Amino acid sequence: MQHTRLGRTALRVSKICLGTMNFGPQTTEHDSFAIMDRALELGINFFDTANRYGGSLGAGATEEIIGRWFALGGGRREKVVLATKVYGPMHDWPNAGGLSARHIRQACDDSLRRLQTDHIDLYQMHHIDRSAPWDEVWQAMESLVAAGKITYVGSSNFAGWHIAQANEAAKSRNFLGLVSEQSLYNLAARTVELEVLPACRSYGVGVIPWSPLAGGALAGGLSDATTGRRSTLNDRWKALAPTIERYEKWCAARGEDPAAVALAWLLHQREVTSTIIGPRTMQQLDGAPLQALDIKLDADALKTLDEMFPGPGGRAPEAYAW
């Protein structure tokens, strides 16, 4: 496993991040434990979750599964760089969501209890809260850092402007500010290249792509008549079916798995620190993610992929004007 620094920090994380969204609703607790154990064996030390994860089992269920795994001991918690998130409502009572100082404090304490740990390594804001002043947000985060409950702060689904605004506000308070941003980013969804990636580069914020396989659209098997993938493609990606077929043929000619190539492409992007994978099974963990680390895409290969999946036209503001 390859490791790198998280953004401008000295913290070292694996280039593959274990996403846990499926733990509970899609993957049994027993199998989730096995996947996390295997991740550590592979050198994956970066685990991502969220307080809202749990699906039909209820918000918080995924954190509880991870907490019970930590409780098994054996250095599990000590080996993991643990990331979770705050924002979404945990119930329908007022102040149960958002980024008010009150909710941030309460949500952190609740996550710590479910995770059976005394600290969160990376506490991420799951979405921007346009009603929350940055002084309020940072005051709450500062208090959690001072109490030893969190170590770093990250964001998710922020615009470039939000990243700049947040870090300028943090700078005025002599606080470290955002060190990472989780964004939707894959070959078929490259909008973040306009402003989010440039903002992250400028502020030393590490980028952690989610949905790197476009909901499975880039995972291969589209033209396999036995899988029926064309009919089950998410509506978001159905229009790309011809392009994806071309992509799969190109990967086949290289003798490489489409899912592995898609992950490798992300890891070739300068701003990307680690890409999140969300395996439901052990096979999904042991397959493409490991292969991706060994794939080298030269300039010609990157150019071909750009032609198949053109980006938004360059960085802003050049993409908007000249």
Read off the amino acid at residue 256.
E
Q: What is the pLDDT of residue 240?
A: 86
Q: How many C-beta neighbours within 10 Å does residue 216 have?
A: 16
189 beta partners? 186
Structure tokens at 35: 């996947």
Q: What is the pLDDT of residue 233?
A: 63
Residue labelled with tokens 């998710």: 156
For every one of its 322 residues, what pLDDT tens digit does the chain have, with 9 covering 90 and above? 999 999 999 999 999 999 999 999 999 999 999 999 999 999 999 999 999 999 989 989 999 999 999 999 999 999 999 999 999 988 888 888 999 999 999 999 999 999 999 999 999 999 999 999 999 999 999 999 999 999 999 999 999 999 999 999 999 999 999 999 999 999 999 999 999 999 999 999 999 999 999 988 999 877 553 344 444 566 777 788 899 999 999 999 999 999 999 999 999 999 999 999 999 999 999 999 999 999 999 999 999 999 999 999 888 988 888 7
Gap between the Cα atoms of 9 and 179, Å rounded: 7
pTM value?
A: 0.93
Helix (H, G, I), strand (E, B) or coil at 237: helix
DSSP 14-68: ESEEEE-TTBTTTB-HHHHHHHHHHHHHTT--EEE--TT--GGG-TTHHHHHHHH
Indicate which residues carry an active-site annotation. 53
C-alpha triplet 144, 3, 315: angle, nearest 5° = 80
CB neighbour burial string for 102-136, b if at least 16 within 10 angstroms, e if fewer:
ebbbebbebbbebbebebbbbbbbbbbbeebebeb
| Domain 3-216+260-299 top-level CATH class | alpha beta
Residue labelled with tokens 């000249």: 322
Hey, what's the torsion of the CAs at 269, 275, 281, 282, to 10 degrees? 80
